[in-house]
Structure formats: structure tokens, C-alpha cells
Structure 1
Amino acid sequence: MGKIADIQPTRLLALIDTIKTSFWFIPSLLVIGSLCAAALFISLDRFAHLNQLDAFELLYQIKADAARELLTTIASSMMTVVSITFSITIVSLTLASSQFGPRLIRNFMNDTSTQVVLGLFIADFVYCLAIVRAIDAFADSDYVPGLSILWCLLITLFSVFVLIYFIHHVARSIQADNVIDDVYCQLQSSVDSLFPLQAPSNDINNAGVDQLPDYSRKQSISVKHSGYLQAIDFNGLVKRMQQHDCFAQVTAKIGDFVVEQQAVIEIHSDSVPKQALYEEALKCLTIGAKRSPIQDPEFAVHQLVEVALRALSPGVNDPYTAITCVDKLTATLCKLSSQTFPQTGYFDNKGSLRLYYQSITYSGIGNAAFDQIRQYSSTSLAVSIRQLESLMRLCDMAHNDQHLNFIHHQAGQIEQGLAKQSISDSDWQDIKTRLDIIRSKLS
């Protein structure tokens, strides 16, 4: 149990996550960039006297009316392309929502390629309008911004190739295997950030309940509005508890849905804390309308589970997609078996325990990955067998009793569910073979 590590403010992380999953931020930056580029090239055309150089003479032979007509045509074409691009994007989002689940839409909106493509087309349109407006500044002469027009032509030509790439990218991104792999990559990224250390050979040393400090007073703090607990600023809570010489215990877990007036923090102290402490403590909790992957490793797990459940629904009946999800979840659990889970006890810089939070456990993530798929796959023998094979792999990676208990529990639940089904002797023999292997590895 070491000192609490420095982390970024959770509200800033939530804002960054909101920006990353939006269709306005990157396009807005590109539009601003196009206006800056227009101002730069117009200044070069006006003050650099490039038309007097032989190498640039060809650029300035176009007439003002022809240049204006050319730019207007390009702008109209780009607006048409923008409309088509947005239509393709909306169709892909609709298809993804119906096929993979509405919670996976954020993954498509988080796609940087789509955001850049949309922004590039809009930026090209805005750039054309800016240059058309600038041509009026040269109305008193036959001089036109040739360099600005050349840059517009180059960007337009580049946009043609970008459109081809975008169509290919959308066609690829809605394929089931690619969707699953993208979610899996995000899950791995979440695991790497939240569980960065290799686990020691013995059990992780956490501050248990019997180690909590003894204070004479206890006061509960309730949330002011309902929503999902997205993140906790552990560092901020510890600092505030140290300032007021208190101890806090967070009773809700990240990812839980909390309702208005629900107690989520217990403040322990020897004296009556100031009212300001309650407000400061609540500010360390980020509560939103939906779950967030900021500090919630189960978020991506539930996304993969949702894809698997939709694949197992009677209307789809696609066990291969469900098996792929099981494989990805198994790979994650294998990785987690050698990782250090977040500490439950947080200390101040003087070594005093100031915060207790019952963080996520291996069995908690494992049950989230297995339970619903197991319940829905009781009539899909192929998926149930793959889950048993996954437990066989997890047996080889188990390092402590918590891992073994999880595997034993899931194997028993799968066997109990399959026992109620009408299964042929050959298939049941396959199941028994895998169960026997699991039990032999657990013993």
C-alpha cells in the first residue's frame, strides 16, 4: 500500500472524452485552419508580388470572373460531397445501432478518420468562400490570387482521394470482426491505463475493512441528482480529507447508477466537519447521464457482451460473432490475471489512511464478461463449449484463490445450465471432457 499516485482531474478527463466522441471539434479546428490558410495565401498573393516571377507567371493568367466561377463551382461541389458524407455517416451509425447495439455508437463517433474527413470537406468549402470574397478585393485590377486558387485546386484533388478512402473505411468499420476488434483494443487500452503494474506472487496487499481508522462521528453525503458514477478524483478526496482531518469511505462503485439523495460517501471524523467539506467531496465525483470508460474497465466489457448477446438473439442467431466476443474477453481476463488491481486504501503524504474505496475485482470483471453470455448461450452449444475452453485457458493463468474461485463458479454454472437442455450423448461427452480438464487443473 503506497502513497496515492498523481492522476489527472477527472472532470478534465470527462471533458476530453466528450470532445473525442464528438463530430464538431476536429471539423471546427480544420475550418479555423482553412480560414488561416486563406488569410496566409491571400497575403502572399497581395504582398509577395509572385506574379512578377517567371516561375509563377502561369498562376496569374486566369481572369477574375473565371476564377470566381471556378471557386463557386468547387464550393458547390464540396457542399454536395459534405451532404453525401454526412448521409453515409448517419446510415452507418443507424446500421451499427441496430446490429451491434446503441452503446457502440460512441465508438463510431470516436473514429478520428471520420471526423477528419468531415472536417476536410467542410474546410475546403469554407476556404473557397473565403477566396471568392478575397477576389473582390482585387476588383479594381486584373490581378487575381493565383497561389490561393492553386492551393484550392490541390485540396480539392486531395479530397477526391479522401472520399474514396472514406467509403472504404465505412465499409470496413461496420464489419462485425472489425467492430469487435476496435472495442477490444479500447478495452486493452483501458486495462493498460487502470491496471499498469504486474502483480506480485502473493495476494495484493490492500487496506481491509478491519484496518479502517476509528472515528467517533460518521456523516453520509448524498448526491444531488441521479446518474452514473463516471469517475472519482481520488487524489482530490485525499487532500480534502487531510485538510479537515477526516476519513472518507466511498460506498458506490464507478459505473453504478446512483439516484438523487442516495448516500455515496461516508465521512468519519472526531468533530463535526464544516459544510464546505461536503460540497468539496461531491465535486470529486463525476456523475453523468451515461457510463464512461474513463475509470470503468467494465464499460468496454459490457460493449463486447452486448455484441455477443445481439448475435445470440433469435432474430440474428450468429454464434460465430458471439464466439469471437468470448475469445476477446478471455484474452482480457488472461491479461488481468497478471495485473495489479487498483488499491482500496488511499493515504496522504504523511502516511495516514484517508480514503477507502472498494475497487473492481478480477471476479467482478470476469462475472461481467461471462454471466450474461452464459445465460443467453444455454441453447447455443457452440458458445457454451467455447466458454468452457476459455475457462481452461484461464486455469493456466490463475495466480490466486480469487481467480480459481471465479473459474470454479463459472464452470459449475455452465454445467448446471447445460444439464437442463436436451443434448446428444456425443455433445455431452465433449462438455464432460472439458469440465474434467478444468476440475483437474483446479485441484
Structure 2
Amino acid sequence: MKKKGTVLHTPRELLRYFRGFLTIPAAISLSGLVVAWVVFYAEQVIVKVGWSLPSILVVPQHTASDVLGAISAASMSALVMVYSIVLLVYTLAAGSIGPRLLQRFGEDRVNQVAVGSLGATFLYSLLTMWLIRDNASISLAVGVGMLYSVISVLLLLLFVHTVSTRVTIDQEAARISEALDCQIDAAIEDSTDLHSSNVVPWEGTEHQIQSSGTGYVNSINTRELTKAAQDTNCVVVFDVQPGDFLIPTDILAHVHGDSEEDLNTVVQAAAPLIPARDPNGDIRFSVHLLVEIALRALSPGVNDTFTAIVCVDRLSASLARAWSSNLCAGVYRDDAGAIRVVYPSITANSLFHDSIPPLRRAARGNGLVTNALVRALTRLAQTAPEEDLKAICDELAAISDETRNSDMLESEIDKFCSDIETVIARIKERPRSSSHITKSSVEKE
């Protein structure tokens, strides 16, 4: 039984607070102080017990001071250069790709480790020089300092290579799409194939739970909340889904059932609010990120048609994966099969309506992007269940209407519309499949 006030955070959610561009580099940097202290005094113990170091490692104290001084100065200069490059990449990415990509750049492990290694090399060399005494042996400490410098140089080369790829929009769109596919797989694994709209309402007592503050619902810890609801024999029905914005007067959820303990604090802890949206636990965030990049590319100020096409292609691949995997996240059962947690379902159809219509409106008059959208919808029609084919056909018809109202040449408009009508006819003639998703009903709990 979870006590009142228990914070239902998974280890991955807790790591969210320690994965930024400050905490990980700082931890790695401070480790240099610990290593310097351990290596220095370990060497003194080795010398005191009579063990001798290989002659190749023996270094005079004045030479050791010069080497460590050079390492510390070079590592600090390189650290300043790395931060300058990072800030430059941030500026370029925010202006040409999208400002919400900055969070992804800040969480890049290569950047964090490269910065941390340079900081650790600097602090290691600085503390080692401070520990040098007249009769102290310093050869092993200098050898470790050289090893630190070699590792830092290699990581610096890797950092430059990584930065050069992060500003390539095709590769960044591929990374976002891969992350979205992983989120879809995780959502399918945890949820059922039951849509929240098909859940039969519960009878009996219920009470509302208001939002704990202002912010975005980062994720909903359904596993721990399902256990807590099972222990109290309750059902928690959220009015929101991950990615929604709340203020203190908004309703977060309804709790159905007679519970001996108030679940308000537990439910609020299971749906933490954060000041800005985060991709972890929020499938729609990655979808909106690709849409944002495409819309920015289609804006008159940027006018980058092929970036928009890349985003359309990647979105179609992820949506096809969601439809072929029967994505339907929002209903969660306990070990006995009873429904315990419900929030508005996230399906491939809902992600489709979040992404394709804005792109269709922005692509009016752009023949290349319109072609890409038609190809994407044709591809999606091959994986979508029969009940969702109408949405795809309606979107194709809307593309035809947008094209007719554009400033394209009349001959181009006629060709586009004719091709779209052919695609719609083929989709409608698609053989009926007996394996498509059927919405099942649920007996009242």
C-alpha cells in the first residue's frame, strides 16, 4: 500500500533531473579531484613499501610541474572552445531548425562527456600540482595526467564529429523519428488495445482531483499508479494525457470507488508537472517536433522544401509503425485484468490528425511537398485499419481542395487533382481485411 505523499517516480524519471548540460559534466569534472587525491597518495604508499615504478614512468618534479601546468592550461582552453562551439550550434539550430531542439542538444551524451572530461583533466592537473611536495613521488600521477589528456583529445575529436552531424537536419529528423518509434513500442507494451472511449462508466462514489500547480503533464506513471489503485480498489480516470497544460483550477483526474485512503497526493505525484514539455513519456512531443521543423521549413522566411519533405517522410514512417502495431495507449489493467488507470487514448489516428492537417495547409501551392504528402498518405493507407481509411481519404480530398485554391498553374492543378482522385479510388477498392482492429466492449467493473 502506498502511503499518502508517496512520489511515484520511476528511475528513468528521476534521471531526468540529472541529465542536463550542467549535472553530468560537473560530476565528471569533480571526479578528477577524487582521482588526483587517490592516485597521489596511492603512489606515496607504493614508494613507501619499497615498490619501484618502471624507469619510463619516473619523472623529475620540475618536469612534472611543467607537464601538469601545460595539461591544465590546454584543457581549460579546449573547454572554453567546446562551450563556444556548443553555443554557436545552439544559435544555428534555434534559428534554422527549431528552438525546441536545444533540449535534445543539451542532453547529448557526447557533448556532456567531452565537456566533463576536459573539466576533469583540468581539475586533476591543478590538484596534483598543489599536492606536490619536496620529497613526494609524482611520476605515477603525471602518467595518469597524460592518460587524461589523451582521452580528452579523443573525446574532443568525437565531439567535433558529433556536432557536425547534429546540425544536419536529415540526420536529426532520423533521430527524432527513431526516438518516436521507441516511445510507440514502449506505449504498446504497457497499454491494452482498448480505447478509452469504450470503457464503461463506473457506478458508485467518485471525487475529483485538481491539478497540483501550473505546467505540462510530463508523463503518467501508470505502473505504480495501477498498483496503488489496485491496493485501494479504485479506478483513476484522467481528464488529460501526457503533454497537456494545466493550471491549479483544472481537473486532473477522477477517482472512482470507496478507498480507505485519499489518493489525491499519489495521483498528483504520478502525473508530475514540468515547466516545459519533455519527450520522455510524451509521444506527441516528438510528433509535434517534426511538425514544427516542417512548418518552419515551409515558412516564407526559410523556404526549405526538402527539409519539409524529410519530416513528412519520417512522420509517415512513424505513423505507419503506430498503425501496424495497433497503438492504443490510455487504458491500463492490474494483474487480475481489472481496469485501474484510464486517460484519453493516444492512437495512430490521433497522432495522424495532430500532424498531417497542419502540414497540408502549410504546403498549399508547393508541388514537391504536396507530392510527398500524397505519397505518405498512400503509404499509410497500406497499414491503417479499415475504420481509419476514411480519415486518410478525407485528408487526400482536402489536399485536392487546397491545390485547387492555390496559385499553381491550371494544368498542374488538374494533374495533381486527377492523381489524388486515382489514389482515393485505389484506397477505397482495397480488399477488406479480417485482421483489422475492432473496438471491443468492456463489462462494467
TM-score, scaled to structure 2:
0.87
Task: Give RMSD over aligned pairs.
Answer: 2.7
Aligned partner of 1:17 in structure 2 is 16
Amino acid at match of 1:296: D
In structure 2, the partner of 1:241 is 229
Distance 1:240 1:52 in 2: 62
Counterpart AA for 1:38 = A
Q: 2:96 aligns with which of 99, 110, 126?
A: 99
1:108 alignment partner in structure 2: 105
Shift in Å, 1:134: 1.9
CA distance in 2, matches of 1:416, 1:268: 46
Name the residue aligned to 2:305: 319
Question: Is 1:346 the counterpart of 2:332 in the alignment?
Answer: yes
Residue 424 of structure 1: which of 409, 420, 427 is its match? Answer: 409
Q: Does 1:213 align with 2:202?
A: yes
Structure 2 equivalent of residue 3 of structure 1: none
Supply the AA of the counterpart residue of 2:320: C
Provide Cα deviations, 1:262-295, integer angstroms capped at 9, x if missing partner.
11212233x5x66732232222211111112222
Conserved 8 A contact 2:8-2:269: no
Which of 244, 260, 276 is matched with 2:248 structurally? 260
**Once the 2 structures are TM-superposed, how far is the Cα of residue 206 of structure 1 from its aligned partner?**
4.5
Q: Which residue of 2 aligns with 1:291?
A: 277
Residues 1:178 and 1:350: Cα distance change in structure 2 (over 3 Å): closer
Check whether the contact 1:223–1:260 (CA below 8 A) recurs between aligned residues: yes
Are residues 93 and 224 of structure 1, via their aligned partners in 2, closer, same or farther at CA, if it must alter by over 3 Å? same
**Cα 1:78–1:300, aligned 2, differ >3 Å: closer, same or farther?**
same
CA distance 1:51–1:154, shift in 2 (3 Å) = farther
C-alpha change, 1:57 and 1:180, in structure 2 (3 Å) is: same
> Is 2:311 the counterpart of 1:333?
no
Distance 1:133 1:193, change over 3 A: same
- Residue 36 of structure 2 is aligned to residue 38 of structure 1: yes
Q: Are 1:281 and 2:305 matched, yes or no?
A: no
Contact 2:232–2:261 at 8 Å: present in 1 too? no
Q: Is the 8 A contact 1:251 1:357 kept in 2?
A: yes
SS in 2 for 1:30: helix
Q: CA deviation at 1:349?
A: 4.0
Q: Which moved more, 1:171-180 or 1:382-391?
A: 171-180
CA contact under 8 A between 2:209 and 2:255: conserved in structure 1? yes
Matches within 5 A, 1:105-254: 105-136=102-133, 139=134, 141=135, 143-196=136-189, 204-206=193-195, 208-209=197-198, 211-215=200-204, 217-254=205-242
- Please point out which of 78, 81, 84 is paired with 1:81: 78
In the alignment, what sits opposite 1:5? none
- Alignment coverage as a number of residue pairs: 422
8 A contact 2:188–2:329 mirrored in 1: no
Partner secondary structure for residue 252 of structure 1: coil
User: Secondary structure at the residue paired with 2:273?
Assistant: strand
Q: Secondary structure at the match of 1:337?
A: helix
| Contact map agreement 2:330 2:346 (CA 8 A) in 1 | no
Residue 209 of structure 1: CA displacement? Answer: 4.3
Contact 1:128–1:152 under 8 Å retained in 2:
yes
Residue 420 of structure 2 is matched in structure 1 by: 434
* Amino acid aligned to 2:179: Q
2:74, 2:49 → 1: CA distance?
Answer: 29
Assess, with a 3 A threshold, how the Cα gap between structure 1 residues 45 and 287 changes in structure 2: closer, same or farther. same
Which amino acid is the alignment partner of residue 16 of structure 1? Answer: L
Alignment-derived partner of residue 439 in structure 2? none
SS of the counterpart of 2:341? strand
Q: What's the % identity of the aligned pairs?
A: 24
Secondary structure in 2 matching 1:370: helix
Deviations 1:55-79 (A, max 9, x none): 72243342x2332233123212211
